[in-house]
Structure 1
Amino acid sequence: MTTATHTTPRALTAYLRRATWGLPEARRQELWDELEEHVLTRADHLTLTGLTPTQATAQAIRELGPPAHVTLGMAKVYIMPNFILAAGTLALALSAGLYALAGSGATSTTLTVVRQAPVKPSCVRGTKPSGDNITIVSEKGGVTCYTFNDHEVNKGVFLKGTDVTRALETQGVTLSRNGRSLALGGTSVNARFTRDGVAFFDASSVVDLLTRTRSVRFSGYTSPRMQVGDATLLLNAGPEDIGAAFYNSSNSVFLSALIGQPVWGSYFVGTKTGPEHLISTRLQKGEAVMLVTSRGGTNFMVDAGKVDAQGRLSVHSQDRQLRFVSSIDQLGPYLSGGRRSALLVRITNVPLSDLKSGVFVPAQATSDAR
């Protein structure tokens, strides 16, 4: 089944040998061929993003996960009674097994996402606040408590602390005795709020905590997925698309990985009311891509968007005219020919530790906002 133009790389041969070890000979060859074709096809796709063939093959292999996981998953398939009814059924099972195993680990947990933090009132003594955007909560003893009507400031992506620790206990994540902080490797993050005695954390702070000491990879956009070691976390907010909220709230983590040094609080997220750029890519539907421009030093403007079924990326920028570059070093605060230098980085299905491999230059050298 291997494409004739390919020569099987040595690393892939070693992986296939380990992944198919212990299976019945006939099944072993079928799985070998299926895995080989899957990796080589995926590698062809990855080379379109700018990776060398060697890098693309290595990444495609990493996306499948440890070979022992493949062996275990396929062994379970082959011992199911009366499973193999026809060659077509076998092929379907192999494909389903491969895509279920690719990018996932031994355990997978769905975390329910809360999108709105409680609105806490502010209180003042003396002059009573007023305005169309203010709601008075209480008035007593000359003290007025009020809230702002704009609840957007309290929207986000929040995770229950007990769910996070249950899913990541094998990775060493612990919850404090009072339940108000998460800890890993000597570092901790505090809860954003509590509800009914249960602490909730910003998803971005959880990501920051994990990426400091663990190998992390992201996939999916509408319902983002985090692979942390051999654990996989699916962030599920029902039918709501939380991609923009999740990836943009975590973009300091991605910027820090890209630059190679911490970048905290010195970036701006592209507003959805700003100029929109529709960029043609060769990426698959659902990939998350980060657009980065520089205002000098470590001041960046960032927006994350998803690739649609036609391979088009929609992102926003403060600039109407962009020119795409191939490295972070080529960004700068000054315009050239009226255009701002911009970098595109694929942030899904790329190891965070090797985020530079996600940098790509689209076929179109420039973009004008529509």
Structure 2
Amino acid sequence: MTTAAHPIPRALTAYLRRATWGLPEARRQELWDELEEHVLTRADHLMLTGLTPTQATAQAIRELGPPARVTLGMAKVYTMPKLILAAATLALGISAGLYALAGGSGTDTTLTVVRQAPVKPSCVRGTKPSGDNVTIVSEKAGITCYTFNDSEVNKGVFLRGTDVTRALDAQGVTLSRDGRSLALGGTSVNARFTRDGAAFFDASSVVDLLAQTRSVRFSGYTSPRVQVGDATLLLNAGPEDIGAAFYNSSNSVFLSALVGQPVWGSYSVGTKTGPEHLISTGLKAGEAVMLVTSGGGTNFMVDTGKVDAQGRLSVHSQDRQLRFVSSLDQLGPYLSGGRRSALLVRITNLPLKNLKSGVFVPAQATSDAR
């Protein structure tokens, strides 16, 4: 029996229809009820961790696995005759389109994130490099090759090219024959590195590619989600918080949407050693917000942060004293009364093309770094 207190989400109904497709009627209803009760109970538990009802239901469905796997598994359990099993298998192909049209969660894809690119060794002739942060890779004929033991070197947010195209094939994203570039609408981006024969791309370059021709929306912070048309990509680095790394590396996308023209490479990111500002925003917890200041023209300094449970935002700037403004044209390279004009922009849970609607001025007109 299902939990009566729950309205049944459309995505769950679509999943159950697909998962029970082709089974005998009595078995179909029995499996439907069992799966429905399991998902709703699991969603209740997930909501206790802070997920919304929609997020919790989607997560519970994902944990069950593809509906086709459930159908064929049940077909074997019920020892259906071969003819019926073949019909059930054929029905899966027919129902796939219906499942998608019904708003199923099959297009919500988790992409495993790689955080470290391979470090290429440097080679010198003559004096052998030394120090606690140096690892000697090889020594031959007077040539020493070495790497630096710096955990931040070549660190980023990287995605496997085949994972991206598998998730976004319906959006027109293709991988080149040699696997070293992704293409969409006549534009392409190159792989950052290859490992074990697979090409990996900066997540920011993938976002750049998508944003040029597709409707894109972002949500989440610790594990960001990128919605592209009807597909949603969940960037998963396990328990690691990759919000700052992902959003800051993708800031050319947000700045371009904000300015209304391409902004490439004419910005810098606030370092975590710079002055920290703690700002009361009034926004919901988990929203990602970008702080923007101007050095003149299209020269910007940006940093992104997450709104905490108290509605506060922690971001860094090159300036200790800020004054918040309400539009991009109010930014400027000069201080006024010792303060730098700054813009706050919510960059999650709204279409990228409408990013200007995310600009807000907090209740506090100014901020002094902690």
TM-score range, shorter chain: 0.7 to 0.9
Counterpart in 1 of 2:53?
96
Give the 3-state SS of the residue equivalent to 2:336 in structure 1: coil
1:257-288 per-position Cα deviation (integer Å, ceiling 9, x unaligned): 10011111111100001110000011100000
CA contact (8 A) 1:268 1:300 kept: yes
**How far has the Cα of 1:81 moved from its partner?**
4.2
The residue type paired with residue 343 of structure 2 is L
**Which of the pair has the greater relative contact order for Cα pairs under 8 Å at 6+ separation?**
1
1:274-332 per-position Cα deviation (integer Å, ceiling 9, x unaligned): 11000001110000000000011111110000000000000000100000000111000
CA contact (8 A) 2:119 2:153 kept: no
**How far has the Cα of 1:119 moved from its partner?**
1.0
Counterpart in 2 of 1:139?
139
Q: Against the structure 1 CA distance between its residues 128 and 327, is the aligned structure 2 distance closer, same or farther, given a 3 Å change threshold?
A: same
Larger Rg: 2
Give the 3-state SS of the residue equivalent to 1:349 in structure 2: coil
CA distance in 2 between partners of 1:284 and 1:233 (Å): 22
Give the 3-state SS of the residue equivalent to 1:326 in structure 2: coil
Q: Against the structure 1 CA distance between its residues 231 and 337, is the aligned structure 2 distance closer, same or farther, given a 3 Å change threshold?
A: same
TM-score when normalising by structure 1: 0.75
Q: State the identity as a percent.
A: 82
1:62-83 per-position Cα deviation (integer Å, ceiling 9, x unaligned): xxxxxxxx75655768995499
Q: Against the structure 1 CA distance between its residues 98 and 74, is the aligned structure 2 distance closer, same or farther, given a 3 Å change threshold?
A: farther
**How far has the Cα of 1:139 moved from its partner?**
1.4
CA distance in 1 between partners of 2:240 and 2:177 (Å): 33
RMSD, aligned CA: 2.9
CA contact (8 A) 1:74 1:97 kept: no
Are 1:149 and 2:149 an aligned pair? yes
Counterpart in 2 of 1:347?
347
The runs of at least 4 aligned residues of structure 1 exceeding 4 Å deviation read 70-85, 97-101, 103-106
How is 1:267-286 mapped onto 2 (pairs within 5 angstroms)?
Answer: 267-286=267-286
**How far has the Cα of 1:131 moved from its partner?**
4.3
CA distance in 2 between partners of 1:145 and 1:75 (Å): 57
CA distance in 2 between partners of 1:138 and 1:106 (Å): 48
CA contact (8 A) 2:123 2:145 kept: yes
Equivalenced residue count is: 301
CA distance in 1 between partners of 2:195 and 2:126 (Å): 31
CA contact (8 A) 1:104 1:227 kept: no
Q: Against the structure 1 CA distance between its residues 183 and 75, is the aligned structure 2 distance closer, same or farther, given a 3 Å change threshold?
A: closer
CA contact (8 A) 1:105 1:227 kept: no
Q: Against the structure 1 CA distance between its residues 333 and 226, is the aligned structure 2 distance closer, same or farther, given a 3 Å change threshold?
A: same
Q: Against the structure 1 CA distance between its residues 273 and 84, is the aligned structure 2 distance closer, same or farther, given a 3 Å change threshold?
A: closer
The residue type paired with residue 369 of structure 2 is A
CA distance in 2 between partners of 1:213 and 1:179 (Å): 22
Counterpart in 2 of 1:196?
196
CA contact (8 A) 2:294 2:300 kept: yes
